[in-house]
């Protein structure tokens, strides 16, 4: 058990554990999807299909692969959506334990990233580097 848990209330530990477990499985599913998109599995499937585009069985197999990849992608999205209530509960538990005064529960807040999403080196989307 991590040392930090010895200093937290049981409800906070449970909220953090639930959020952590969901984030872990979401990361695992995302890694699997990454392999299907551009990892060794994707390369193997693409090179196999590319050499036999006139073979109906290969085309059918490739379409099944694409369908499977889409199912996995939808699963990642569903897992992420499922994670939000647990993340909100963990935030609320931590803030309550720290006796922080907040205007509303985490689930009712709109979070804005400190750094906008973008590409490194693209001055239009990210602030200039050091």
Q: Is the overall model pTM greater than 0.75, yes or no?
A: no
Residue 84 lies in a domain: yes
Across 8-35, b (16+ Cβ under 10 Å) vs e yields beeebbebbebbeebbeebeebbebbee
How far apart, in Å, do the first and last CA atoms of the chain sit?
Answer: 39
Helix/strand/coil percentages in the chain, nearest 5: 70, 0, 30
Q: Report the pLDDT value the prediction gives residue 130, as an integer from 0 to 100.
A: 54
Asked if residue 60 belongs to a domain, the reply is yes
pLDDT at position 128 is 58
pLDDT in tens, 28-87: 999 999 999 999 999 988 888 877 767 787 788 889 999 999 999 999 999 999 999 999
122 lies in some domain: no
Of 90, 91, 112, 113, whose CA–CA distance to 102 is shortest? 91
Give the rounded percent of residues in the chain with a pLDDT score beyond 90: 62
Residue 69 makes CB contacts below 8 A (sequence gap 6+) with 33, 36, 37
Residue 126: pLDDT over 80: no
Q: Which two tokens stand for residue 124?
A: 């239009």
pLDDT tens digits for range 13-33: 999 999 999 999 999 999 999
Q: Residue 33 domain-assigned?
A: yes
- What is the total count of domains within the chain? 1
Mean pLDDT of 90-106: 94
pLDDT at 33: 96
DSSP 95: H
Residue 123 within any structural domain of the chain: no
């Amino acid at each position: 058990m991590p040392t930090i848990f010895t200093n937290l209330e049981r409800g906070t530990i449970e909220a953090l554990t639930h959020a952590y477990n969901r984030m872990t499985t979401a990361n695992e599913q995302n890694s699997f999807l990454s392999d299907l998109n551009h990892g060794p599995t994707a390369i193997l499937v693409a090179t196999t299909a590319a050499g036999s585009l006139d073979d109906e069985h290969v085309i059918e197999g490739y379409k099944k692969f694409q369908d499977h990849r889409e199912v996995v992608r939808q699963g990642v999205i569903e897992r992420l959506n499922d994670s939000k209530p647990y993340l909100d509960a963990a935030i609320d538990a931590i803030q309550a334990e720290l006796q922080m005064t907040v205007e509303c529960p985490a689930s009712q807040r709109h979070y804005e990233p400190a750094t906008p999403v973008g590409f490194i080196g693209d001055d239009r989307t990210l602030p200039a580097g050091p």
